[in-house]
Amino acid sequence: MPDKLSNAQRVFKSTGGLHAAALFDTQGELLKLREYVGRHNALDKLIGSEFLAGMLPLNNHIVMVSGRSSFEIIQKCITVGVPIVCAVSAPSSLAVEIAREFNITLVGFLRGKKFNIYSGVERIKVGQKMDYT
């Protein structure tokens, strides 16, 4: 998923200054990506596009953000039913707390085949070549 996110970030490649929020299916296929200067706004654009398309709730999807996971990112995902949130960077301690409280699977430092699972490990099927904590 991190490679798919990175490869789809067209504007980031030319500017180096945008965040992305991406929607994946449960098999890890990239469905939609939105970019913006702020990671919160990128997620707002992604959720808004799904709302306008009549696709909510997103309870069979994964959201991945290009930055870190804050409690606001988790909160927005909870409101639209996203059960798994991934980020290429660290979550805040409040994001971890809220993810645990609302049974959200929270993955951080998702880079290549390495990642940390902070909550909801039961949703993650780990292959033999994966390295997780």
Q: Which structural domains are found in the chain, ordered by start?
A: 1-59+81-88 (3.40.140.10), 96-103+111-133 (no CATH)
pLDDT digits (tens, 9 = 90+) for 82-95: 999 999 999 999 99
What is the pLDDT, as a whole number, of residue 111?
Answer: 87
Count of positions (residues) in the chain: 133
Confidence of residue 15 (pLDDT cuts 50, 70, 90): low
User: Whole-prediction pTM value?
Assistant: 0.86
Mean pLDDT of 69-76: 96
Query: Do the beta carbons of residue 39 and residue 66 sit within 8 Å?
Result: yes
State the CB neighbour count (10 A cutoff) for residue 24. Answer: 20
3-class secondary-structure state, position 102: coil
Distances (CA, A) of 50 to 32, 36, 57, 103, 130: 9, 16, 9, 22, 31
